[in-house]
Chains A and B, each alone.
Chain A
Amino acid sequence: MKKVFGRPKSMKNTIFHYCAGCGHSIAHRLIAEVIDELDIRGITIGVPPAGCAVLAYNYFDVDMIEAQHGRGPAMATGIKRVLPDRVVFSYQGDGDLAAIGIAESFHAANRGENITVIFINNAVYGMTGGQMAPTSLLNQKTTTSPTGRKSLLDGHPIRISEVFTLLPGTAYIERCMVNSPASILKTKKSIRKAFQYQIEGKGFSLVEILSPCPTNWKMTPVESCRWIDEVMIKEFPLGVMKDLPAMEEKEEKKGGKTS
């Protein structure tokens, strides 16, 4: 009998601690599948965050080193500069990347570090119990914005992908989601491209994943998926924000024709 579905080799044989319907588990699996497909398990080093994914090293069967809250991209920078031929990824939540670690993320991106950042945007601080995140939507109720996020008091949700696109150092940025089979497949393609670009030395890549957190959104998994479709993507539109390598290839082809 032919096996058509199994655990990726880059994933350990354990059970996730994530809540039912959580986007982290899907994102983990996709990353592991990509690592398998690119056959880079032996040269990949992952940096998990402080956040719900803090135990990611218990799931990925690749070398992993814990980062303090928000410092993943600095750590990944140190690793990658010492070992430029390894594949280094930093896995981060929205509090981790867009609040406490915004400087480390922004500057790693600006330096064009040849690393990949997987950015899980679930619009809350999942691990600490659902407080407001820098990506929480206006009027979104959280445990620290009980009457809803108000721009005058709390500022606006930060569109990290759009902001990072403006940095000349970034090579590839895409926003995806994981709330349907089709969107999951698309996200996998994006992760694959990000890793591929890193292997080719193209520079900084970031995949933002709109990710359900049913527990803190106080919704069922199905409602959470619908909320992403109906509410979240209005603030965080999907798509490729930047694909410098593809653009350059196009330019080259054009240039090749005229010359």
Chain B
Amino acid sequence: MQGNKIIGEAAVLAGCRFYAGYPITPQNEIPEYMSERLRTVEGGVFIQSESEIAAIHMVAGASAAGARSMTSSSSPGISLKQEGISSLAACQLPAVIVNMMRGGPGLGNISPAQGDYFQATRGGGHGDYRTIVLGPATAQELADFTMDAFDLADQYRTPVMILADGMMGQMMEPVIFKEPKPRVYSDSYMMRGAGKGKSKIIRGLILDPLDMEEHNWTLERKYRVIAKKETRHELYRTEDAELILVAYGTAARIAKGAIKRLREAGLKAGLFRPITLWPFPENELRDLAKVFENFLVFEMSTGQMLEDVRLALQGYARIGFHGRPGGVVPTPVELANVVMRQYDRKQGIIEHY
């Protein structure tokens, strides 16, 4: 099944009943799939919105009304959604946002890229908030993480982003949809009319600075719990490694290919793959630095996750970097060659950050 369609199917299986989105390549198969699929389930709503801005606010309304809700887009459209994502975070509303990244900045191009890492992991919109960001690297993970995203969004009442790229959206791989978990949530916040009871307010406007500060700390405490409990990563062939590559998503797939070739050439490389990009698995990465001295970050950008790696490792290890922004998807061979140039067994990483 195609990556974009996998996301759509996994969402519906997870109980997503509201989707709003605006066309943008390379993720058009998601709205197309949802427009068909949501018609086949009771209470399913699909709206092709007038813009990404409208889509995210429709999602907020639907979420407040109690539906599991999702929107998807690609880089320029995700920029437009930031107002709504900030608002979802402020109002503590669950929602799932998919970003199939493409080359940027500006209109950029429609090729796979990883240039939205800062935007995704630093909040993206205004104000003190975080978004949980999952970085799948296989079709199976697209399915699994989409389902997980809905659970996390409900559990923490916060927007969750799937950060993938055009390549993952277009690729075809077999997939097994896991049994979705039953939805666990408190409906206390939901906006369904007051009935005979007290009326509710959902708002992010808190005029008194002391109250606003308290709200900020409330959110921050939640983010700290998330950071503690939800951090995920993968280790690949690190047991006997002398050099660790650090990469996520499509770049991690390429890195795995490069590792195979490097090992054939006698260089034992391994991979540390962050799965949650926020919260970034910094402790887990730093733990590795107790054993390993040399790390090389590979991204399809000019170096964004590199900053998180530096925060985790600077002073503990030597950090190298290889970046291909702009929609260029390098081959494993290219990466393997770069690694061999940048790493010397005696010296370690030659040009380090």
Contacts and interface: CB of A to CB of B under 8 A. Distances in A.
A107 B201 contact: no
Contacts of A82: 17-18, 43, 45, 61-62, 65-67
A106 B54 CA distance: 11
A65 B191 contact: yes
A96 interface: no
Contacts of A78: 18, 20, 57-65, 69
A138 interface: no
Contacts of A61: 194, 199
Contact of B49 (A64, A74, A79, A86): A74
A86 B193 contact: yes
B202 interface: yes
Interface stretch (A37-45, A201-209, A223-231): A37-45
Contacts, number: 131
Nearest to B58: A78
A60 B124 CA distance: 33
Contact of B54 (A42, A45, A58, A71): A71
A104 interface: yes
A236 B341 CA distance: 73
Chain B interface category by residue count = 35 or more
Interface of B is mostly: mixed
A77 interface: yes
B61 A74 contact: yes
Nearest to A72: B57
Contacts of A16: none
B200 to A, nearest CB: 5
Contacts of B57: 67-68, 71, 74-75, 78, 104
Interface stretch (B83-91, B259-267, B324-332): B83-91
A66 interface: yes
A154 interface: no
Given A45-B193, A104-B53, A65 B199 contact: no
A165 B59 CA distance: 27
A71 B203 contact: no
Contacts of A45: 65, 191-193
B107 interface: no
A81 B43 CA distance: 9
B290 interface: no
B51 A103 contact: yes
Interface string B25-48: 000000000000000000101010
Interface string B201-230: 111110000000000000000000000000
Nearest to B93: A65
A199 interface: no
* Residue of B51, B57, B69, B195 contacting most chain A CB atoms (<10 Å): B57
Nearest to A42: B195
B196 interface: yes
Contacts of A66: 87, 91, 201-205
B143 to A, nearest CB: 25
A44 B195 CA distance: 9
A31 interface: no
A59 to B, nearest CB: 11
A63 B205 contact: no
A42 B202 contact: no
Nearest to B62: A78
B91 A79 contact: no
Interface string A49-65: 00000110110111111
A173 interface: no
Nearest to B61: A78
Given A54-B205, A63-B199, A79 B62 contact: yes
Given A54-B205, A57-B203, A63 B61 contact: no
A76 B62 CA distance: 9
A219 interface: no
Contacts of B201: 57-58, 63-66
A68 B89 CA distance: 13
B94 to A, nearest CB: 13
Nearest to A47: B61
Residue in B47, B58, B196, B200 whose Cβ sees the most chain A Cβ within 10 Å: B58
Closest 6 CB pairs of A and B: A78-B61, A78-B62, A74-B57, A75-B61, A82-B65, A78-B58
Interface of A: 41-45, 47, 54-55, 57-58, 60-68, 71, 74-83, 86-87, 103-104, 106-107, 111
Interface of B: 17-18, 20, 43, 45, 47, 49-51, 53-55, 57-67, 69, 83-84, 87, 91, 191-196, 199-205
12 contacts: A42-B193, A54-B205, A63-B191, A64-B191, A66-B91, A71-B83, A71-B84, A78-B18, A81-B62, A82-B43, A82-B66, A107-B49
